[in-house]
Chains A and B, each alone.
Chain A
Amino acid sequence: MNAIEVRDLNKSFGKVQAVAGLSFFARQGEVLSLLGPNGAGKSTTISMLSGLIEPDGGSAEIFGHSIRAEPQAAKARLGVVPQEIALYPDLTARENLIFWGKMYGLRGAALAKRVDAVLETIGLNGRQRDRVGTYSGGMKRRVNIGAALLHEPAVVIMDEPTVGIDPQSRRHILDHVKALNRAGATVLYTTHYMEEAAELSDHIAILDQGRVIAYGTHAELIAQSGGLARIDLTLNVEAERVLPAWRSVPGLAHLDVVDGHVTALVDDSNALLPRLFELATQAGARIMTVDIREPNLESVFLELTGKALRDEA
């Protein structure tokens, strides 16, 4: 049985179709990332899986429990980490955790034990009696995650948990996701940072305009895109002077100019770059900057949609 099974999910807000026939699944014990730019439908999908909003159509199941027919059973197996801090600032970290634990049905000694364990995990034992309102942003993030783990959920949903935080806290959260997964939890992780998706995921679903446009492991997706590297160049003259010559170079799959910056997708950057320099010199142009990115999810997205993942972010 899959941990998460989503079939043909739809959701519109007025005339805007946020999710359009979305289907994907997550196997038990894996990390599945939903990767896509802002507006791709990631958060709407998470909201439907969490039972916050009703889908217009389609189905979604958590360990076989339909989010529409058996919402409480489905929710009991879910731990949701919202994108924004969702805690009570005038309660202490311990009081927050106790409250959220109770909302997941924990009581008495079992609750106290889990609260202690989570405080230990998130490294806030020493400040558990302080009100959350007095915490730094990173500490709040840790409590925010901890509140979703009290009932040891089989599926943890994390909605862009690293948005707007410092690199150290981001590292802490990524390590924590890995630890959760090692402990057996299935993790559904949404992000628009391809590095995070690449680092964490067993499988990645790339979303655009409310639907999955690619699905597979990191390696499969790279291969799916043809394994092309991306080269960004700037010239001291107008790009049009060298483009006709460059277009004829074998191994160059895609060439684009945006605001004077040239983007090329190539199968082997090492082999191709000397030829590009040579042709530029013949055309009386100088290449001023070069940025090489080996095949990654960014280039996959570019290949699939014709637009950059981060331009939309």
Chain B
Amino acid sequence: MKVIDIAIKDLTQTMRSVFALGMMVAAPLLIIGLIYFAFGGAEGDAAETPPAVRVGLVNLDALPKDAPLEEALGKTIVGMFVDPSVAGWITTTEFADEAAARTAVAERRVGVAVIVPGGFTADVLAGRAAAVTLVSDPTLSVGPQMAEAMVRALLQGVAGGGIALETVQGRLHAAGQDPLTLDAGALMRDYATWYREVQRGLLHETEPAVLVWVAPTATGSGDGTLQRIIAQMAAGQMVFFAFYTGAYSMMSLLREDEEGTLARLFATPTGRIDILAGKLLAVMLTVIVQGLVLMTAAHFAFGVAWGQPAAVALALIGQVAAASGLGVLLIAFVKTTRQAGPVLGGGLTVLGMLGGLFSGAVTMPETFARLGDFTPQGWAMKAWMLALEGQPTGAVVTSCVVLVSLGIVFFSAGAWRIQRRYA
């Protein structure tokens, strides 16, 4: 009974410590969250339905007579924005004049206005200075940049058509043929058609290279790669902080020693093994609660699917046993709470690295990966990876047995040393 009393007392103290709660739950969730958002989690479902770019269009251009083109460049530019293939992420509004478009931008009805002036095609064909004006909402960045990129790409294509025409004419001249016999109009039309297809392919096809700007989400990446990365990171962080919490919670033994309450406990008719068992129970309950909270939070906040319940339970049991046992062992070799900070922080970080907690989806060299087998963190990570892959319970049993065995060995060695210290 006293074992439970001591455990409840320790748990109460832990739950009242802002630092302990921060390190148990807030810190791992924060790190998982940062990783999640770094991989684009903040975009939500943006991969499949990115937020629409609102574009205002003003086309005052017309096709000059005898122009070697099928349509005016202004119409081509507008057509690019109203193409059905971009309808999912570009919405357009056409305006009669520049003033109306500028007003729409000022009122934030559109994010960017593309204004093609009158005589634009004629000026381009005649080699005169010509410009398409873009007016954008200064608070936006992505939408206007996309519009500018699309217009710039198209105009570079037009310039490329002119260069192509000059090149062909030059070649004809060099070959002794009369360049005037060339059907420049047909050539320009062919080039424009080809270039338009290239642009459409570049901008509208959903190939990965083109979609690199679109941050995919854990649930929206099709093959689930990102989801796996986030899940692995979440598992790694959970294992790391479980072992940290195990050692930190066990540090209550050192605190009690320094504050005199341990000596007072020893002066009561309470066995020393009961005191140690009470502390171990508190550590185990703390690590269990921490694991459950982190798993639940990671599931609902980051979409982590932990696997089959029985496999998850085995992984959690193994993690709790090993983390608690290692906590007892580490504290047994530390004399003061002041020493404990660097020893626990440094030692657990090194063990965590060797255990592969921070490598995520990166494939480590075989030798390095093998080192994980010599750390409890490595076995815990292995158990979680199996659970995350949806492996059946039987697959996790070995890891669980190893972790529980390590936990018993660690606890026995730590308890032996603690008994000697306080004999």
Residues of A at the B interface (CB closer than 8 Å) are: 47, 50-52, 54, 71-73, 75-76, 78, 80, 82, 84-88, 90-91, 95, 99-100, 102-105, 107, 147
Which residues from A are CB-within-8-Å of B12?
A: 91, 95
Asked if B163 is at the interface (CB within 8 A of a chain A CB), the reply is no
- For residue B160, give the distance in angstroms from its CB to the closest CB of chain A: 74
The answer to whether A80 and B9 have CB atoms under 8 Å apart is: no
B269 at the interface (CB under 8 A from A): yes
Q: Cα distance A307–B13 when bound, in Å? A: 48
Contacts of B9 in A (CB 8 A): 88, 91, 99
Q: Say whether A100 contacts B268, CB under 8 Å.
A: yes
With both beta carbons as reference points, the residue of chain B lying nearest to A50 in the complex is identified as B267
Please list 16 pairs of residues, one from A and one from B, whose beta carbons are closer than 8 Å in the complex, sorted by A's number.
A50-B263, A52-B263, A52-B267, A73-B269, A75-B269, A86-B259, A86-B264, A91-B12, A95-B12, A99-B5, A99-B9, A102-B1, A102-B2, A103-B2, A103-B269, A103-B270
Can you list, as one digit per residue, whether each of B13-28 has a CB less than 8 Å from chain A (1) or not (0)? 1001100000000000
Q: Which A residues touch B17, using CB under 8 A?
A: 90
Residues on B with beta carbons closer than 8 Å to the beta carbon of A80: 264, 267
- Any chain A CB within 8 A of the CB of B261? yes
A103 contacts B13, C-beta separation under 8 Å: no
Q: Which residues of A contact B271 (CB under 8 A)?
A: 72
Q: Please state if B269 and A84 are interface contacts (CB–CB under 8 Å).
A: no
Q: A50-B263, A86-B260 are in contact. List 15 more A-B contacts (CB 8 A).
A: A80-B264, A82-B264, A82-B267, A84-B260, A85-B260, A88-B9, A88-B13, A90-B13, A90-B17, A91-B12, A95-B12, A102-B5, A103-B2, A105-B269, A107-B1
Q: Which residue of A lies closest to B13 (CB)?
A: A90
Q: How distant is the Cα of A19 from the Cα of B260 in the complex, in angstroms?
A: 22
B10 shortest CB reach to chain A, Å: 10
For window 132-184 of chain B, which residues contact chain A by CB distance below 8 Å?
none
CB of A54 within 8 A of CB of B423, answer yes
Q: Which of A75, A78, A88, A105 gathers most chain B CB within 10 Å?
A: A88
From B16, which residue of chain A is reached at the shortest CB distance?
Answer: A90
Q: Which residue of A lies closest to B268 (CB)?
A: A103
Collect the chain A residues with CB atoms within 8 Å of residue B263's CB.
47, 50, 52, 82, 86
B374 within 8 A of A: no
Known pairs A84-B260, A87-B261; A75 contacts B268 (CB<8 A)? yes
Determine the main DSSP class of A at the interface with B: loop
Which of A54, A72, A86 is the most central at the interface, judged by chain B CB atoms within 10 Å of its CB? Answer: A86
The 3 closest A-B pairs by CB, nearest first: A86-B260, A103-B268, A50-B267
B333 within 8 A of A: no
Indicate whether B265 reaches chain A with its CB closer than 8 angstroms: yes
Residues of B within 8 A of A104 (CB): 268-269
Which of chain A's residues has its CB closest to B255's CB?
Answer: A88
Query: When the two chains form their complex, are residues A103 and B266 in contact, meaning their CB atoms are under 8 A apart?
Result: no
Q: Which residues of B contact A87 (CB under 8 A)?
A: 261
Q: Are B2 and A52 in contact (CB under 8 A)?
A: no
Task: Across the interface, name the chain A residue whose C-beta is closest to B270.
Answer: A103
Identify the closest chain B residue to A102 (Cβ).
Answer: B5
Contact A72 to B260, CB < 8 A, known contacts A54-B423, A88-B9, A95-B12: no
Report the minimal beta-carbon distance from B171 to chain A, rounded to whole angstroms: 88
Task: Collect the chain A residues with CB atoms within 8 Å of residue B270's CB.
Answer: 103
The winner among B9, B13, B16, B270 for most chain A CB atoms within 10 A is B9
The one of B5, B16, B259 that contacts A103, using a Cβ cutoff of 8 Å: B5
Bound CA span A47–B267, Å:
9
Most buried by A among B2, B263, B265, B271: B263
Q: What residues on A are CB-neighbors of B1 within 8 Å?
A: 102, 107
Instruction: Give the distance in Å from the alpha carbon of A42 to the alpha carbon of B264 in the complex.
Output: 17
A84 to B271, CA, bound (A): 23
B residues 1-55 near A (Cβ < 8 Å) are 1-2, 5, 9, 12-13, 16-17
Contact B13 A51 (CB under 8 A): no
Given A91-B9, A91-B12, A95-B12, CB of A72 within 8 Å of CB of B261:
no
